[in-house]
């Protein structure tokens, strides 16, 4: 009797484990140049010869060096997007599912230092958001849940804190995006316009 019960339990667990396996999207081996005139985008969907495109698109710099490679399924971004600097060094690595950003997105400066690391779930920020200066010094650290920021910190390249906040009841408390309005040039303070630092999204 115990043997029968164990057999039923084993069968049940095996059936359940089989039902939760993720369905892997298979991208066809078709590779096209993104400049192909038979490709066009309509309402956020890529079409090739009148049908939603499934395959890989490669883009090239004017001299012929590879600029990016990205996979698509039924006209939407699916899988990896890799971009490269003209030198061939990696620039970004991003992932998509059904056209939505997912997983860990990473970027690098041309000198090889990390530039950003973003975490996504169903197209929204989820978890750690980090950015660095080309020198390797940290620039920003933000924590997200379901696309909303919970807390964040930011540093100037010299390590001085310019942003430090937490969210409570939908409001930010603390120092937020304090940008300098002057700089030292030839050891003299001179006022200057400061361009906003945008995240490389």
Q: What's the pLDDT score for residue 141?
A: 97
Q: What's the pLDDT score for residue 158?
A: 93
**All CATH 2.20.110 domain ranges in the chain, comma separated:** 111-196
CATH topology of domain 111-196: 2.20.110
Q: What is the pLDDT of residues 129-180, one digit of tens each?
A: 999 999 999 999 999 999 999 999 999 999 999 999 999 998 999 987 655 5
Q: Are 105 and 120 in contact (CB under 8 A)?
A: yes
Q: What is the mean pLDDT of the chain?
A: 84
Nearest partner of 76 among 39, 34, 46, judged by Cα: 46
Q: Which residues contact 36 (CB under 8 A, 6 or more apart)?
A: 48
């Amino acid at each position: 009797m115990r043997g029968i019960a164990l057999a039923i339990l084993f069968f049940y667990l095996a059936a359940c484990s089989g039902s939760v396996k993720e369905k892997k999207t298979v991208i066809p081996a078709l590779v096209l140049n993104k400049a192909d005139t038979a490709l066009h985008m309509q309402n956020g969907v890529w079409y090739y010869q009148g049908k939603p495109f499934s395959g890989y698109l490669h883009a090239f710099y004017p001299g012929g060096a590879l600029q990016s490679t990205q996979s698509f399924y039924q006209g939407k971004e699916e899988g990896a997007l890799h971009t490269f600097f003209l030198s061939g060094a990696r620039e970004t690595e991003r992932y998509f599912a059904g056209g939505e950003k997912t997983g860990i997105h990473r970027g690098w400066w041309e000198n090889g230092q990390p530039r950003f690391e973003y975490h996504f779930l169903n197209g929204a920020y989820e978890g750690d958001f980090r950015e660095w200066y080309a020198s390797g010094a940290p620039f920003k650290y933000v924590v997200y849940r379901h696309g909303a920021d919970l807390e964040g910190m930011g540093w100037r390249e010299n390590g001085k804190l310019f942003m430090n906040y937490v969210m409570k009841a939908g409001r930010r408390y603390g120092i937020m995006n304090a940008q300098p309005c002057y700089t030292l040039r030839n050891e003299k303070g001179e006022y200057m316009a400061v361009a906003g630092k945008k995240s490389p999204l």
